[in-house]
Structure formats: structure tokens, C-alpha cells
Amino acid sequence: MLKNPEGVFNYTEDGDRKSNQELRFELKKKMLSAIPGEHLDLKNTSHSTNEIFKIQALPRGESARELSKSQLPLIKRASTEEFKDLFQVLRENAELRTTYLVLMVLSTTLATFGLFADSTPVVIGAMILAPLMSPIISLSMGALRQDKNLIFSSTNTILTGLGICILFAIFITLITPIKNPNSEILSRTNPNLLDLGIAVISGIAGAYAHAREEVAKTLAGVAIAVALVPPLVVAGIGLGWMDWSVFSGALLLLLTNLAGMVLAASVTFMLLGFSPFRLATKAVFLSLILVGAFSVPLGLGFNRMVYKHKVIQNLNGFSIGDITIKDVSVQSVKPLTISIRIVANERVDNDKLREIKNQIEEKLNNEVELEITTSMKF
């Protein structure tokens, strides 16, 4: 028992400030940890500072009392303060505002010009400028907690932004004389499972950054990782050109990003304690079905990408007599069309070209169409 003849002890118990003239302790082995105050001498203690401060992250006050009434949950529950702050931010992000519309127009215009100019830095600038990340994270929380108002407002904001984006992209495409797709455009027309993986990781990062104020500065990096405006602009370019392959490929990439982000962000919020598992099951199950449906064409796209890499790996540096094959690229898989450059010591006639084609078909065990560029050694 401790007594203070000159006054009272001021102390904190489970987040509540208390005072008393005497303190009575019952000491049991490994049952008590205390955070030292400024007047407690720790010079002669046998314990490390890390051990002393181990209880600093435990719930306090109201949260501690609520948890003590039942068994500890498998998943951490967010505190009342965390709920209040996060939901206020998410509801504000879900609202359709003038600033959101202006940023959508600017990011769309910038992305369209950057895609036509085949400029990666300009496209990255449009990714950072686009404000779509915030309402998507709000939608994931609304779906998780089945909050109809949050779902409606965030969906309305997202669809309005997407509609503005695609209309401006079509308009700019129609007044632009460029009609041929470049590398920046084509790179967004062949989505695969790797794009779904990027969307999932970005959704996790976006939800975590919203839930943890100290990492909110990473949102710009997340927006770059799972860019939504460039594939939507490419879909608009496809409509402007009346090119179905460009439109459908870019639209699939956009829907993949949206579905992957919503699913991953919802699961992340659930694991962070913002919704009980019972309430979240329906939203997570529906999101999994949607992502599973997209995984079929994405899996086919991934197989095509792997096959292209195998063809390039097998043919690059392949020698046929004194002829070496270099700079291999696969133009299409069905039919298999390959562009190659051959390096020879002398002029290559038609018979030699047919021999090269036969050797390549034998090596790949497949019929091929070749686009050949010849280089001579001197």
C-alpha cells in the first residue's frame, strides 16, 4: 500500500483519470505492467524500456469497457473515434462536388493528349490529377456496411466522373487527326491477371491510407499504381475510332481495376475492424463473384502474354547456319505473327527465307507468319 501524506496520487486507469490518497496493490507474477511517470526512477530497474511500454497500444476508456463485456474478437474492432473520423471523410469524398468535376475534365484532357503524344510522363500526371480513388474507397465501405446512402452517393459520383471522362475523350478523338494506336494506347487494351493483382494491392493500400491518417500521403502513389482515367480514355478513343478491340480491351481493364479495388478495400476495412464479419459477408461474396467473372478473360490474356514471352525467349539469338535472329516481337497470337530482324554475312535469297520460316515453325511447333528485316555484316 502506498500513501501520500502531502496530498493525493493522480493516475490513469484504462484511460480514465483518477486520484486517491492511498493506493493498494496486490502483486502477482506477470500480471501487471505500468507505464512510468516522470518521477519514477528507472536507473536501477532490471527490465528494458520496451517491456515497460508494451501496453501502450491497448484499448482504453470506453473501448476497453466494451471489450471486457464479451470474448475478445478474432478481428480488431475500430474505436468510436476512428469510426467517426473515417466515416466523415468517406461521406465527404462520396459527394459530387464542382472541384471533382473540374479535376475529372482536366485529368481526362491531359490523359488524352498524353496518350496521343505517346508520352508516359504526361499520362502519369493525369493519373495523379484524377480524383476517382476517393469515391471508390467510399463505395467499398458503403458496400461493406450495406450503407445505402453511401453506396448511392459514391456510385453517382463515380458514374458521373466516368461519363464526363469518356465524353471528353470521344470529343478530343474526333477532332484529332491521329488514327493509329501507339504503344501507350495498346498497352491498355490487353489486360491480364497481373492487372487484377495490381488493382487488389492498390485497393488495400487505398483503404489503409484512408483508415490511417499517418499514411494518407501515399494516396498519390496508389492513384498512379491503379490508374483509372487512362484506360477509360482509351475506351473513349476506341469509340471515337469505332475500333471495337481497343474499346473492349480498355473497358475490361477499367472494370477489372474497379472490381479489384472495391473487393480489396472492403476486405481491408473489415480486417481493420470497421464492420463485423456477419454484416460484411454479403458484400465480400458478391465482390468475389464479380472478380471471378473478370478473371476468366484476364486469365486468357495472361496466358497469351506468357506465350508471347516464351516465343521471344526461344527465338531471340537463335542461329540458323550463319544467320542470327534478333529483335523478336509477337504481333498477334492467332494467327501467330512474328516480327524479326535477321543478321547475315551475305545476301539472303527467297530459298533461305523459306528455310528460316521452316526452322522457326519446327522450333515453335506452330505455323507462323513472318515479318523479316535483314541486316548485313561487313
Kindly report, residue by residue over 126-183, the tens digit of the pLDDT.
888 888 888 988 998 888 888 889 999 999 999 999 999 999 999 999 998 988 888 8
CB atoms under 10 Å from CB of 68, counted, come to 10
Q: Check residue 153 and give its pLDDT.
A: 93
- Sign of the C-alpha dihedral computed for residues 74, 75, 81 and 87 taken in this order: negative
**What are the φ and ψ backbone dihedral angles of 152, each rounded to 5 degrees?**
-65, -50
Closest to 107 in 3D by CA, of 216, 226, 233? 233
Q: Check residue 52 and give its pLDDT.
A: 47
Q: Check residue 53 and give its pLDDT.
A: 47
Show Cβ contacts of residue 312 under 8 Å, excluding neighbours closer than 6 positions.
328, 329, 330
* pLDDT (tens digit per residue) in 25-77: 776 665 555 555 555 555 555 555 444 444 555 556 665 666 566 655 555 56
Residue 107 amino acid letter: S
Angle between helices 277-315 and 350-364 (to 10 degrees): 140
Determine the Cα–Cα distance for residues 202 and 209; give it in Å rounded to an integer: 10
Report, as an integer, the average pLDDT of 329-354: 87
Residue 149 amino acid letter: N
Q: Check residue 112 and give its pLDDT.
A: 93
Cell 506452330 belongs to 366
Long-range residue pairs from 319-324, CB within 8 A, at least 24 positions apart, any chain: 320/355, 320/356, 320/359, 323/348, 323/352, 323/356
Cell 500480471 belongs to 31
pLDDT reading at 310 higher than 50: yes
Altogether, the residues listed in the chain come to a count of: 378
* pLDDT (tens digit per residue) in 243-294: 998 999 999 988 888 888 888 888 888 888 777 777 777 777 887 888 888 8
* pLDDT (tens digit per residue) in 74-132: 555 666 666 777 888 888 889 999 999 999 999 999 999 999 999 988 888 888 888 88
Query: Helix/strand/coil (H, E, C) string of the chain?
Result: CEECCCCCEEEEECCEEEEECEECCCCCCCCCCCCCCCCCCCCCCCCCHHHHCHHHHCCCHHHHHHHHCCCCCCCCCCCHHHHHHHHHHHHHHHCCCHHHHHHHHHHHHHHHHHHHCCCHHHHHHHHHHCCCHHHHHHHHHHHHHCCHHHHHHHHHHHHHHHHHHHHHHHHHHHHCCCCCCCHHHHCCCCCCHHHHHHHHHHHHHHHHHHHCHHHHHHHHHHHHHCCCHHHHHHHHHHHHHCCHHHHHHHHHHHHHHHHHHHHHHHHHHHHCCCCCHHHHHHHHHHHHHHHHHHHHHHHHHHHHHHHHHHHHHHHCCCEECCEEEEEEEEEECCCCEEEEEEEECCCCCHHHHHHHHHHHHHHHCCCCEEEEEEEECC
Q: CATH for 80-308? A: 1.20.1080
Determine the Cα–Cα distance for residues 65 and 14; give it in Å rounded to an integer: 8
Answer whether 0.75 is exceeded by the pTM: no
Closest to 132 in 3D by CA, of 168, 107, 98, 169? 107
Q: Hey, where are the domains in the chain? A: 2-51, 80-308, 316-376
Determine the Cα–Cα distance for residues 156 and 154; give it in Å rounded to an integer: 5
CA 321 remoteness from chain centre = 48
Q: Check residue 62 and give its pLDDT.
A: 62
